[in-house]
Structure 1
């Protein structure tokens, strides 16, 4: 029945946890599509803007896990983990995180 109606069950996996096989997201190839972008839009409209990459386990993946983009076509019973972009505000420079508002370089400081 799933194949005849072209329905695709996609399971979610939170980071650091086991996949949730109890409540799949059902997508349709005929209505809406079965790409990662369609999956993100099904979850929440603003999620597409926050996606850094997606990890996929299942039939559509060449290896486990596979890093995918928004155009990846999902197959029935795939497991998807979404990795979001980090918020860059207030992080500082690279690995040297600055918690002050002072300039990062000595040459940028004002003379007193």
Structure 2
């Protein structure tokens, strides 16, 4: 019946927890589509902006878990975990964060007076 109607059940998996098989997200191939982007839109419209990547378990994945993008096509009874982007911290990149208030470029720094000898 699910195949004839073109319906796909997708289960959610919170990070660090077991999948929730009690309440699937039902997508339709006829109405809207069955991609990861459609899945995110079904949960909340603003979720797409925050998605870093998606982990998928199920028949649509080649290996478990598979890193996927927004265009990945989901199949019936797939399990999806959404990994969101972290908010950017001000003041540097990665592990080389600067704790000073000095300008980032050397050419923008103020010139100090030369030492008197």
State the TM-score bracket (shorter-chain normalisation).
0.7 to 0.9
Q: Secondary structure at the match of 1:46?
A: helix
Dislocated runs of 4+, deviation >6 Å: none
| Structure-2-length-normalised TM-score | 0.83
CA distance 1:100–1:24, change in 2 (3 Å):
farther
Q: CA 1:65–1:32 in 2, change beyond 3 Å: closer, same or farther?
A: same
Task: Provide closer, same or farther for how the CA distance between residues 12 and 98 of structure 1 changes in structure 2, counting only shifts above 3 A.
Answer: same
Q: Secondary structure at the match of 2:5?
A: coil
Q: Match of 2:71, SS? A: coil
Aligned partner of 1:44 in structure 2 is: 44
Q: Which structure has the bigger radius of gyration?
A: 2
Structure 2: give runs of 5+ residues left out of the alignment. Answer: 113-117
Tell me the equivalent position of 1:17. Answer: 17
Separation in structure 1 between the aligned mates of residue 9 and residue 99 of structure 2, nearest angstrom: 45
- TM normalised by structure 1 equals 0.87
Q: Distance in 1 between matches of 2:21 and 2:91?
A: 36
**Structure 1, unpaired ranges of 5+:** none
